[in-house]
Structure 1
Amino acid sequence: MSTGNTLPDSAGTVVVGAGCVGCSAAYHLTRLGREDVVVVDQGPLFETGGSTSHAPGLVFQTGGNKLMTRMASYTRRLYEDLDGFRTCGGIEVAYTEDRWDFLKRKRERGQSYGIEGGELLSPDAVADRVPQIDPEVIRGGYYVPTDGKAHAVDASAAMAEQARSAGAEFYGDTTVTDLEVEDGEIQTVVTDRGTIDADEVLVATNIWGPLFGDMVGVDIPLVPCAHQYLVSDELPELAGADREIEQPLLRHQDRSLYFRQHGERYGIGSYNHESLLVDPEDIYGPEKLEDLGLEYPSLREFTSEHFYENTHPDHDQAAYDAACELVPSLRDAEFESAINGMFCFTPDGMPILGPTEEIDGLWWALAIWVTQSGGAGSIVAHWMEDGVPRLDGERVDATGAHISRFQPHAGSREYTRGRGAQQYQEVYQLIHPREQPQDQRGLRRSPFYRRQEELGAEFYDSGGWETPQWYETNEALLEEYDVPDRPDWLDRGWSKAQGVEHRAVRDRVAMVDMTTYTGIEVTGDGATAFLQRLLTNDVDVSPGRIRYAAMCNEDGGILADVTVARLAEDRYTVFTGGGNSATLHSRWLREHAPDDGSVSVRTRDSDMCGIGVFGPDSRAVLSSLVEADLSNDAFPFYTAQETYLESVPVTMLRLSYAGELGWELYAPMEYGARLWELIEDAGDEYGIVPMGWAALDSTSMEKGFRLWGTDVTPEYDPYEAGIGFAVDLETDFIGKDALVEARENGIDRKLVPITLDEPGAVVDTGYPVLEPDGDDALGYVTRADYGYSIDAGIAYAYLPAAAAEAGRDVEISYENDRYAGTVRDEPLFDPDREKMLR
């Protein structure tokens, strides 16, 4: 191992951070053929002093989403091969009935994402595996036999050794003091032992990440947090324990606790206290550590009040009392060690991966736990080497961890700390998927916001935007429309107003706030050639025409599905979704724009508002307001016009995500309040209803329209996603070669709709689709809702091509029940498009 005093003058790749993430990245880069890799760390190798050094190393593989689960499973396999992992199994216990139901769903999601052998245990079965617990205080547990403990330091050293044998060099006790950038490119890593010129730099420093962002003027939305870990003295139940045969890991998430065996001793990890945030610049240096008797910079002195007193805002029991209730012998135990150990959270709890937009050659791999460290290293290494994120060589949807998912406000200290604290507080909490953050709200509001409040809008946070999901005032129409009830969990954070709005747009007219849709303006003499290169469909159409297209990466994975309106010979607007689409999709366009000035890319996510007017009466409502002729002949389907709605300048697109006759209208933001008033007043005689995004989502499912980020992601290509009609292989675009190969080879999986056979039944996303009476997962639900027009629950899922034929019987496992369903042809509603074309 290279630990000498002399650093190299230059390197192809410099990795800053020799913890498990940095070592994983170096290991995978060298496996992909890179030889000129240098890894530096301010601490000694490989117990460097960061989170890797004190991490208890629990690898519970079933994560909150597919990406985190896949990374954890890969980490387990990798570290097991490197002798840095001990398989002992893992159990999550349920203290409450809600948690027990949650564990049923978690087991099913694990099955969907490839976790094998997961099972639900009775309280006594949990106690059989962990004898020191009191089975009387729990309702059961979720057991995964392949979970276990990663020794992060040993795994880091093993990965480093293999990387070194392939040419990589590692240097400890080397502090990076600056990153030098010139003309938008990374140039030099400056250390206290010399400088290294570098083609690429990967920052894998976790809790110190924001300090490196400060060096180069890049916001890194991450905040270090401290949590507690204690190790008891010997417990009677563990006396004479065989160190080669260890108990399963244990999580008590209802009280924000976890446990692991240390021979005859027992370790307790606690998040059961208030959020203990740390500013990166305040992390202790060597002198302070020595004064406090602390071993690593990532440690803080133990604060006993956070263990023995209840300081967590959502709990009514201190960590110590909760631990002793589950493990009674802890009441008589002493604790031989206790620390406050640092790790970190981002505003959404996901990692930060990928390249910096503003600085070529500068990469990040941050906010990653040991659990996902091996997988994160694989993804970022493939991304750096191949230009596409892959996990173990396979396509992966890393969008949720992409550094560019953050919106501008996320760089603020106030936002990062507020949301980071909330993520810490909720890390083990039972959070409903529809439960919304309470902190840092109301940041971005459309000009319709005040009127929507009056109408009882239920707002969701979407990239900082307040986005109406439904309107309470529409519940008054339940006398007119029958809406099925939903079971307890699916009923939470839901309103029957969604069903009302769904039905109303089908038989009258509705107006939808579409301000969060992002319009990306592409102009210039080279605009057509540029978009032809980036999009799968032929967009060289006459002005006024609209095209639907996908935007793919080199693997053919779908980065976005977009609507493209050509408004003039040299001017297009590319419309994409809300949330992180504004930054992710516009970045791809900017990065691929030519440098010769022939193309300008302008993201209009903050200066343009939008309203969708959909339904059979939409033409009648708008005709009295709009200067343009709205007849079929003058304004046909899938065309666009720039006109006026009374005095408001608008761009009108004749299309409808609800699958009805309708138009989307976009205007400069300052005209928005008047735009809403005019449409609402004109629609009054037609019974116009305000419609939220929940109903727009369910109506779009009935029509088979795709939703990027759920059923359309980089993990799938357009043929698999059922949008091959938007691929024109006569044009030359990024990803074409991969799609030609895919078409020639035929698809192995296909996105299909499934309707549930039981009247009124509905399931949720992420649950396995099974053969009738079988236990093997064919696929899993990517999107689900109720189809109020067809009066059936709908689930979309990717199934093997052989199992995707219409009429096939399947079952969906949800909360330990099995729901019979039938694969259908699509669309399920208005297959001849009569409603949209009338």
Structure 2
Amino acid sequence: MSTGNTIPDSAGTVVVGAGCVGCSAAYHLTELGREDVVVLDQGPLFETGGSTSHAPGLVFQTGGCKLMTRMASYTRELYETLDGFRTCGGIEVATTEDRWDYLQRKRERGQSYGVEGGELLSPAEVAERIPQIDADTIHGGYYVPTDGKAHAVDASAAMAERARAAGAEFYGQTTVTDLETAGGEIQTVVTDRGRIAADEVLVATNIWGPLFGDMVGVDIPLVPCAHQYLVSDELAALAGADREIEQPLLRHQDQSLYFRQHGELYGIGSYNHEPLLVDPADIYGPEKLADLGLEYPSLREFTAEHFVENTHPDHDQSAADAAAELVPSLRDAEFESAINGMFCFTPDGMPILGPTEDIDGLWWALAIWVTQSGGAGNIVAHWMEDGVPRLDGERVDATPAHISRFQPHAGSREYTRGRGAQQYREVYQLIHPREQPADQRELRRSPFYERQAELGAAFYDSGGWEMPQWYESNEALLEEYDVPDRPDWLDRGWSKAQGVEHQAVRDRVAMVDMTTFTGIEVTGEGACEFLQGLLTNDVDVSPGRMRYTAMCNRDGGVLADLTVSRLADDRYMVFTGGGNSATLHSRWIREHAPDDGSVSVTAHDSSRCGVGVFGPDARNVLAPLVEAELSNDAFPFYTARETYLESLPVTMLRLSYAGELGWEIYTPMEYGARLWERIEDAGEAHGIVPMGWAALDSTSMEKGFRLWGTDLTPEFNPYEAGIGFAVDLETDFVGKEALLESREAGIDRKITPITLDEPGELVDAGHPVFDPDSGDVLGDVVRADYGYTIDAGIAYAVLPATAAEAGREVEIGYENERHPATVRDEPLFDPNRKKLLR
């Protein structure tokens, strides 16, 4: 392995960071055929001094989403082949009823995502496997026998050895001091031992990621945090323990603790203290490292007060007391070692993967724990080599980790540290999906915000935007509309106003804030030809017409679903959704635009606002206000007009995500307040209601409309996702070849609607669908809500094509119960489109 004094002066690929992520990426790149790979690290190989060096290596496979779970399972499988993994099982215990209910749901999530063998244990069964715990303090545990411990340094060395055998070179004690770019491309990696000209660079430095961002002027929203790890002296409960037969890992998430056996010793990991944030600039470079006087730069002196005192803002016990309550023999234990070890968090707790937008050849793989390290390296290697993210050769939805998901404000130090600290506090907390962050709010507000607040809007954070989910003012209509109760977990952070708004849009009219929807304007003499080669549908239509289309990667995975309006021969408006869609989708369009000046791409992500007016009375509300004729003949479905609403210049689209008659109306931001006022005033005579996104979501499910990020992701192609009608194979577009191959081979899975048989019943996404006869898992629920018009719970699920026939009986697992359900044809509501076309 190359560790000499001379580094090469050029390389095809330079990986910065020889921890488990960098070594995984290098190994997988060589597996894919790359030979000219050089890996650098400021520390010695392979105990480099980063987070890999001190990581406890816990691999609990069942993560919070499919991506994290799949990466963890791949990591386990890979590290087992490297002798860098010990299978001992993992148990998460519950000391509260809430946590026990959560573990039941988590087990089902594991079943959905392919984690095999997971089971729920009684307190006595947990104690059989971990005898030193006090079984009287717990309700039970979730046990996965294939979980275990990765030895991250050994795994890194083994992956590096395989990469070296394929031609890769590794150099330790080499500090990168700069990344040089020119003409929008990476050029050179500058080190304290020389310069390396490089075609591509992958930054896999984890806690030091922001420093490398500073080198090239790229914001990397990541903050290092320290947490505590202690190893006890010999415990009587572990006396004579066989090192070849290890107890399962133990997580006590109710008190932000985890435990692992070290022979007769016991390790305690604690997040049960206030966030201890670190500036990466304080711990990088030879001079800084010499000053620290610690074994690794990723360590801090152990701060005993954070272990013996309660400093965590959400707990009522110190880490020491909570650990001793669960494991009584720890109460009188001495500790052989204790550290504050660093890792890092992003504002949303997810990794950072992918290429830099404005610098060709510069890649990132950051904020990754050992748990997902093997899988993350595999994904980014495929991405670099093949142009699309894949995991073990299969399509994967890496969108939740994409570097371009961050919005402009995420680069600020205040935002990154504020949200990073929150992620640290909550890493083991029981956080409801609807629970909203309190810090760093009200950053982006539509012109309607103040009026929405008056109406009792429940605001959710969507890419920094404050977006209403429902309006408390609509609860006054509960005497008019029946809304079934929800079970405890699904009722939290929810209001029956959603059900009211859902039903009101069906029989009167509603107005919805569409400001987060982003219009991407594509203009120029080459606009039509460009979009024809990028989008799956034929958009060479006459001005004023619209098309619904998909945008795919070269594997045929759906990157976005879009509405495309041709406003003139040389001008199109492409509309995408909210959240991170503005940055992700506009980036893809910009990157594929020709550089000959024939096309201009402008994302109106903050310059325009919008209101959707949907429902049977939508035309009656708008007709007196709008200069354009709104009849079916003059303004038919799926057409667009630039016109005026009184004095306001507006772009109107005749479509409705709610599945009703309606228009989306967009105007420059400065006109927004007036737009809302005039529509609200005109709608008063028709009983108009403000409608939040929760009701828009549930109405769209009844209509069979897909939602980007749930039942529409790069994991699926358009045929699997049920939007094959938006593919015109007479045109040539990115991903066409893959779709042709898929169509010829036949679709073996599809997104399918299911309704629960019992009225009023509801489940959640991430839960398994079972065959009621065999008990086998057929697929997983990707989106769920209640259909108030059809009076049934709805679940959209990924099912084998052979199991997706309408009328088939299935069961959905939820909180350790099986709920009878039936596969349905779609749409569930208005199949003849009479509502849309009236």
> 2:316: which partner in 1?
316
Higher mean C-alpha displacement, 785-794 vs 284-293? 284-293
Q: Report how far residue 798 of structure 1 moved.
A: 1.2
1 CA distance for matches of 2:544 and 2:358? 34
Residues 292 and 301 of structure 1 are in contact (CA less than 8 Å); yes or no, is this contact kept in structure 2? Answer: no
Q: Report how far residue 596 of structure 1 moved.
A: 0.3
Q: Could you report, residue by residue, the CA deviation over 1:743-780 in whole angstroms, capped at 9, with x for unpaired residues?
A: 11110001110010011000000000000143321110
Q: Could you report, residue by residue, the CA deviation over 1:462-513 in whole angstroms, capped at 9, with x for unpaired residues?
A: 0000000000000000000000000000000100000000000000000000
Q: Report how far residue 308 of structure 1 moved.
A: 0.2
1 CA distance for matches of 2:109 and 2:566? 42
> 2:825: which partner in 1?
825
Q: Alignment partner of 2:45: what SS?
A: coil
> 1:572: which partner in 2?
572
Q: Alignment partner of 2:503: what SS?
A: helix
Q: Could you report, residue by residue, the CA deviation over 1:682-708 in whole angstroms, capped at 9, with x for unpaired residues?
A: 000000000000000000000000001
1:146 aligns with 2:146: yes
Q: 2:749 corresponds to which letter in structure 1? A: R
> 2:755: which partner in 1?
755
Q: Structure 2 regions of 5+ residues with no counterpart?
A: none
1 CA distance for matches of 2:284 and 2:355? 29
> 1:705: which partner in 2?
705
Q: Alignment partner of 1:720: what SS?
A: helix
Q: How does 1:681-696 map to 2 (within 5 A)?
A: 681-696=681-696
> 1:99: which partner in 2?
99
Q: Could you report, residue by residue, the CA deviation over 1:377-435 in whole angstroms, capped at 9, with x for unpaired residues?
A: 00000000000000011000000000000000000000000000000000000000111
1:538 aligns with 2:519: no
Q: How does 1:163-178 map to 2 (within 5 A)?
A: 163-178=163-178
Q: How does 1:524-673 map to 2 (within 5 A)?
A: 524-673=524-673
1 CA distance for matches of 2:593 and 2:56? 46
Residues 19 and 153 of structure 2 are in contact (CA less than 8 Å); yes or no, is this contact kept in structure 1? Answer: yes
Q: Could you report, residue by residue, the CA deviation over 1:778-834 in whole angstroms, capped at 9, with x for unpaired residues?
A: 110010000000000000011101000000000000000111000000000010000
Q: Report how far residue 282 of structure 1 moved.
A: 1.5
Q: Could you report, residue by residue, the CA deviation over 1:304-347 in whole angstroms, capped at 9, with x for unpaired residues?
A: 00000000000000000000000000011100100000000000
Q: Could you report, residue by residue, the CA deviation over 1:109-130 in whole angstroms, capped at 9, with x for unpaired residues?
A: 0000000000000001000000
1 CA distance for matches of 2:285 and 2:579? 39
2 CA distance for matches of 1:232 and 1:294? 21
**TM, length-normalised to structure 1:** 1.00
2 CA distance for matches of 1:415 and 1:541? 44
1:300 aligns with 2:276: no
Q: Report how far residue 62 of structure 1 moved.
A: 0.3
Residues 90 and 249 of structure 2 are in contact (CA less than 8 Å); yes or no, is this contact kept in structure 1? Answer: yes
1 CA distance for matches of 2:473 and 2:223? 40
Task: Tell me: CA distance 1:739–1:287, structure 2 relative to 1, closer, same or farther (3 Å).
Answer: closer
> 1:235: which partner in 2?
235
Residues 301 and 339 of structure 1 are in contact (CA less than 8 Å); yes or no, is this contact kept in structure 2? Answer: yes
2 CA distance for matches of 1:106 and 1:190? 46
> 2:8: which partner in 1?
8
2 CA distance for matches of 1:608 and 1:722? 31
1:205 aligns with 2:225: no
1:280 aligns with 2:274: no
Higher mean C-alpha displacement, 8-17 vs 775-784? 775-784
Q: Alignment partner of 1:534: what SS?
A: coil
2 CA distance for matches of 1:478 and 1:774? 43
**TM, length-normalised to structure 2:** 1.00
Q: How does 1:9-48 map to 2 (within 5 A)?
A: 9-48=9-48
Residues 234 and 266 of structure 2 are in contact (CA less than 8 Å); yes or no, is this contact kept in structure 1? Answer: yes
Percent identity, aligned pairs only, is 86
1 CA distance for matches of 2:42 and 2:656? 56
Q: 1:796 corresponds to which letter in structure 2? A: Y
2 CA distance for matches of 1:451 and 1:42? 55
Aligned length: 838
Q: Alignment partner of 2:29: what SS?
A: helix
> 1:388: which partner in 2?
388
Q: How does 1:242-257 map to 2 (within 5 A)?
A: 242-257=242-257
Q: Structure 1 regions of 5+ residues with no counterpart?
A: none
> 2:439: which partner in 1?
439
Residues 299 and 340 of structure 2 are in contact (CA less than 8 Å); yes or no, is this contact kept in structure 1? Answer: yes
> 1:136: which partner in 2?
136
Q: Report how far residue 584 of structure 1 moved.
A: 0.2
Residues 286 and 297 of structure 1 are in contact (CA less than 8 Å); yes or no, is this contact kept in structure 2? Answer: no
2 CA distance for matches of 1:61 and 1:774? 25
> 2:461: which partner in 1?
461
1:487 aligns with 2:475: no
Runs of 4+ in 1 over 6 A off after TM superposition: none
Residues 208 and 284 of structure 2 are in contact (CA less than 8 Å); yes or no, is this contact kept in structure 1? Answer: no
Q: Report how far residue 102 of structure 1 moved.
A: 0.1
> 2:69: which partner in 1?
69
2 CA distance for matches of 1:742 and 1:77? 28
Residues 636 and 654 of structure 1 are in contact (CA less than 8 Å); yes or no, is this contact kept in structure 2? Answer: yes
Q: Could you report, residue by residue, the CA deviation over 1:159-210 in whole angstroms, capped at 9, with x for unpaired residues?
A: 0000000000000000000000011100000000000000000000000000
Task: Tell me: CA distance 1:284–1:160, structure 2 relative to 1, closer, same or farther (3 Å).
Answer: closer
Q: 1:353 corresponds to which letter in structure 2? A: L
Q: Alignment partner of 2:267: what SS?
A: strand
1 CA distance for matches of 2:717 and 2:180? 39
1:351 aligns with 2:351: yes
Q: Alignment partner of 1:324: what SS?
A: helix
1 CA distance for matches of 2:752 and 2:384? 34
2 CA distance for matches of 1:586 and 1:288? 40
Q: 1:232 corresponds to which letter in structure 2? A: S
Q: 2:192 corresponds to which letter in structure 1? A: D
Q: 2:373 corresponds to which letter in structure 1? A: S
> 2:504: which partner in 1?
504
> 1:834: which partner in 2?
834
Q: Alignment partner of 1:332: what SS?
A: coil
> 1:333: which partner in 2?
333
Residues 289 and 295 of structure 1 are in contact (CA less than 8 Å); yes or no, is this contact kept in structure 2? Answer: no
Q: How does 1:515-526 map to 2 (within 5 A)?
A: 515-526=515-526
Residues 285 and 297 of structure 1 are in contact (CA less than 8 Å); yes or no, is this contact kept in structure 2? Answer: no
1 CA distance for matches of 2:775 and 2:125? 22
Q: Report how far residue 61 of structure 1 moved.
A: 0.3
1 CA distance for matches of 2:625 and 2:290? 74
1:740 aligns with 2:748: no
Q: 1:799 corresponds to which letter in structure 2? A: L
Q: Could you report, residue by residue, the CA deviation over 1:621-653 in whole angstroms, capped at 9, with x for unpaired residues?
A: 000000000001100000000000000000000
Q: Alignment partner of 1:519: what SS?
A: strand
Q: How does 1:799-810 map to 2 (within 5 A)?
A: 799-810=799-810
> 1:218: which partner in 2?
218
- CA RMSD for the aligned pairs? 0.8
Residues 89 and 147 of structure 2 are in contact (CA less than 8 Å); yes or no, is this contact kept in structure 1? Answer: yes
Q: Alignment partner of 2:561: what SS?
A: strand
1 CA distance for matches of 2:284 and 2:482? 62
Q: 1:696 corresponds to which letter in structure 2? A: L
Q: Could you report, residue by residue, the CA deviation over 1:269-290 in whole angstroms, capped at 9, with x for unpaired residues?
A: 0000000000111127666666
2 CA distance for matches of 1:813 and 1:126? 23
Q: Alignment partner of 1:719: what SS?
A: helix
1 CA distance for matches of 2:315 and 2:292? 31
Q: 1:745 corresponds to which letter in structure 2? A: A
Q: 1:666 corresponds to which letter in structure 2? A: Y
Residues 526 and 598 of structure 1 are in contact (CA less than 8 Å); yes or no, is this contact kept in structure 2? Answer: yes
2 CA distance for matches of 1:638 and 1:774? 45
